[in-house]
Copies of this chain bind each other. A is one copy, B any other.
């Protein structure tokens, strides 16, 4: 027998895998999933198009992987922010602000993750992650209700509504086309809107 297991080759493969995801995320950040062609990803990652298919069975699979990877990261950031604060209201505010500011730092990516649909499989992944978003807010709301900071309400629904309110407000022309300081003020205002509602 020859060539049985793999030692550091595994390392190399993981590296290529990561490179592909990184290249894909960069492309999506620039012009959304519509701009993601297999040829473009391959070039960006410094490999041949055929090689992509050694790592992902299809374009759809690749898109889902890119999407999941990026979203997971965003959710982590927000969850971290949600731990920060003396009371629930403040923690919710921090979570919302983080959500907003990260989205504005990379609007194209945020748009692609939140709204841009592609294939049905990707839409399915998006629904799953929307649920994850809503969960992280819903947990906070539930805690706030228990502690008497918020009034009783259907947490999941409120959380979903919050995600929607933030997302919609963020893609408003008023938001995307104004100065940084104005934007900060507008973020505060949307967050206020959400906090009033709970």
Binding site for B on A (CB under 8 A): 32, 34, 115-117, 127, 130-131, 134, 153-154, 156-158, 160-169, 171-174, 186, 189-190, 192-194, 196-198
Contacts and interface: CB of A to CB of B under 8 A. Distances in A.
Q: DSSP majority for the A interface?
A: helix
Contacts of A162: 165
A160 B167 CA distance: 9
User: How many copies are assembled?
Assistant: 2
Given A127-B173, A165-B165, A153 B117 contact: no
Contact of A190 (B157, B163, B171): B157
Contacts of A164: 164-169
A188 to B, nearest CB: 10
A169 B157 CA distance: 6
A115 B167 CA distance: 11
A190 B163 CA distance: 13
A32 to B, nearest CB: 7
19 contacts: A115-B117, A116-B117, A130-B171, A153-B192, A153-B193, A154-B186, A156-B172, A157-B169, A157-B174, A157-B186, A160-B169, A161-B168, A161-B190, A161-B193, A162-B165, A165-B165, A165-B197, A168-B168, A196-B198
